[in-house]
Structure 1
Amino acid sequence: MPAYMLAHLRKAEELHPEVLEYLERIQSTMDPFGGRFLVHGGPIEVFEGEWPGDIVMLEFPSMDHARNFYNSAAYQEIQPLRANHLMGELVIVEGVEPDHDSAEMAAGLRRATAC
């Protein structure tokens, strides 16, 4: 099942040169793990709540691929180039099967929580 790495990054007052270096180098660290960008800081339209910052979303073939990418020596070498200048949160989440049905999921949750 695919896995997604989501980053919510706050906008920096100035774009630090190290962030540009990070951007130049990140794709080569993702390639060995099958990672690709799905979203990379495009326009955001907020419907509910507040969203200060940008969104970056990467897709990997699995949770293991995403974890291995993040923990790889190549990525850990460049990670501070971003993290030292852009504050935010980073999470990995597993995707759903192509035939995922939220109504079926709700029925299962109802059965599991029935008294």
Structure 2
Amino acid sequence: MAAYVIFIREKIIDAEKLAEYRQSVGSTFKDHPVKLIAANGPQKTLEGESVDDILILEFPSYEAASNWYNSPAYQEASKTRLQGASFQVYITEGFAAK
């Protein structure tokens, strides 16, 4: 069953560090089956507080998503993400359509 990693960027702290993260994160997908579902597109807050950006990644399973997020390569890349902006990050499992 598919799983999703959802990044919600709340505030940019250091644009240069965030750009550095964007340059490095792509290489962390090399050994992981990931599909970019949504990123950097138009968005509208319907309820709650507005956010800067939303990114959604799809993986074939919860385990695959966890493996990518916890991989040494991503954990190293995420250091610059944390210096560049404040985020909320979630992992959630999808459901089988019936």
TM-score normalised by L of structure 2: 0.88
Runs of 4+ in structure 1 deviating by more than 6 angstroms, as ranges, are none
**Aligned equivalents of 1:14, 1:67: Cα separation in 2:** 27
Long gaps (5+) in structure 2 = none
Q: How many residues align?
A: 98
Conserved in 2, the CA contact under 8 Å of 1:5 and 1:91? yes
After the TM superposition, which residues 53-92 of structure 1 pair with which residues of structure 2 at under 5 Å, given as runs?
Answer: 53-92=52-91
Q: Per the alignment, in what secondary structure is the counterpart of residue 88 of structure 1?
A: strand
Long gaps (5+) in structure 1 = 100-115
Q: Per the alignment, in what secondary structure is the counterpart of residue 89 of structure 1?
A: strand
Q: Specify which structure has the higher proportion of strand.
A: 2
Residue 92 of structure 1, CA deviation: 0.2
**Aligned equivalents of 1:48, 1:71: Cα separation in 2:** 31
Q: Percent identity?
A: 34
Aligned to 1:15: 15
Larger relative contact order (C-alpha < 8 A, sep ≥ 6)? 2
Distance 1:13 1:26, change over 3 A: closer
CA RMSD of aligned residues (A): 1.5
